Amino acid sequence: MPARPSSLCLLILALGLADPARAAEDPRAAGLELGLAASPTQVVESSRGGGWGFSLSLRNASPRTRCLALPSVLFGHQVRWEITDARGGKWRPTFLPPPTPRSGWPPPPRRRCLRPGAQVVLAGLGGISGFERAGPATRWYLQPPGGTYRVRVVDLKLQGIRLDSSAATVRVLPADAPVGGLRLALAAAPARTVMLPDGRNAAPVKLRLTFTNSGKTPLALDLHDLAYSKLTLHVDGPSHSSSEVKREAAPAASRQKQRARLAPGQRLVPADALPFPGQLGRRKIWLTAPGWFRLRVVYASKAQGAWSGEVSSNMLWLEVRPTGKQP
């Protein structure tokens, strides 16, 4: 007895759903797992970009051997990243322009057969030059702010199968973490400035430092010749040509020792503010273009009988507006 049209349609639909080629497009049916591991798992906010590295691997979690054509090479700029901070904010990595590919590059995919439970490393992913916060891009970060970040590679296509990786965790340590009980904070007044009419520099702001004893015991702080021998200002601008630095001769240092004793929890704000742009120590700095500038001050001392070491301030963002804009 011939099958009725409705029964025939149901039979065709069932065969279509059972098609192995269709089922293989579902990673759960394919039994493939994409793994992402971070190395290192910690970077410091003050580092100058990069430092984030990952290993991307593929595991056969199915009960049968799987044979796939896998890419011979895979770079960080070729995959889709998902980076989320603890507050749910989205970030995207940036990369330096890749070199011009030579003839015959990239090599063709290679066929690999994975037994049940077998795993293969697809690529080491790196080359990250910086980060942008998702949304209107107003700042480019060498490193995102201190905190914990969840990282995944998503929507990676392998032989018609789209895979999302497991999550890797990267912790960015704040630049102003205390060292030996001493914490250093940096602030600016005002919080933004403007380029001067001739465009050769920006109107200066005042930088203020705050030293805090965050430990449990008193400490002595050496302030002798502070600006010229113990402070270093690090400046990162929107481009390599957005600031200029010239070394100046240092004035004769005073022979009189200047020290302060800080009880636990006590703060000290040096009386003299630091002009920026301007001269700090033996370095005179000009800003030659508007944009966002990232500032950080490092205090270093080798004094005997006082706090000794090197401590960094927080990252301070300073907006420099074009000529004619209100600061």
Q: What is the pLDDT along the chain (327 residues), one digit of tens a residue?
A: 454 555 544 444 444 444 444 444 555 547 899 999 999 999 988 877 668 999 999 999 999 999 999 999 899 999 999 999 999 999 999 988 877 778 878 889 999 999 999 999 999 998 898 898 887 766 778 888 889 999 999 999 988 889 999 999 999 999 898 999 999 999 999 989 999 999 899 999 999 999 999 999 999 999 988 888 899 999 988 887 888 888 766 655 555 568 999 999 999 999 888 999 998 877 889 999 999 999 999 999 998 999 999 999 999 999 999 987 776
Per-residue pLDDT of 248-307, as tens digits, reads 666 555 555 689 999 999 999 998 889 999 988 778 899 999 999 999 999 999 989 999
Instruction: Please determine, looking at this structure, whether the domain spanning 182-321 carries the CATH number 2.60.40.10.
Output: yes
Residues 234 and 271: beta-carbon distance below 8 Å: no
CATH of domain 23-173: 2.60.40
Region of 86 please: left (phi>0), alpha (psi -120 to 50) or beta: alpha
Q: Of 283, 48, 83, 66, which Cα lies nearest the Cα of 167? A: 83
Q: What is the pTM of this model?
A: 0.73
The amino acid that residue 106 corresponds to is P
E strands, 90-248, in order = 90-95, 110-114, 119-125, 128-133, 147-154, 156-158, 161-163, 168-173, 182-189, 192-194, 205-213, 219-222, 231-236, 243-247
Q: Where are the domains of the chain?
A: 23-173, 182-321
Q: Take residue 11 and report the two structure tokens written for it.
A: 């039979």
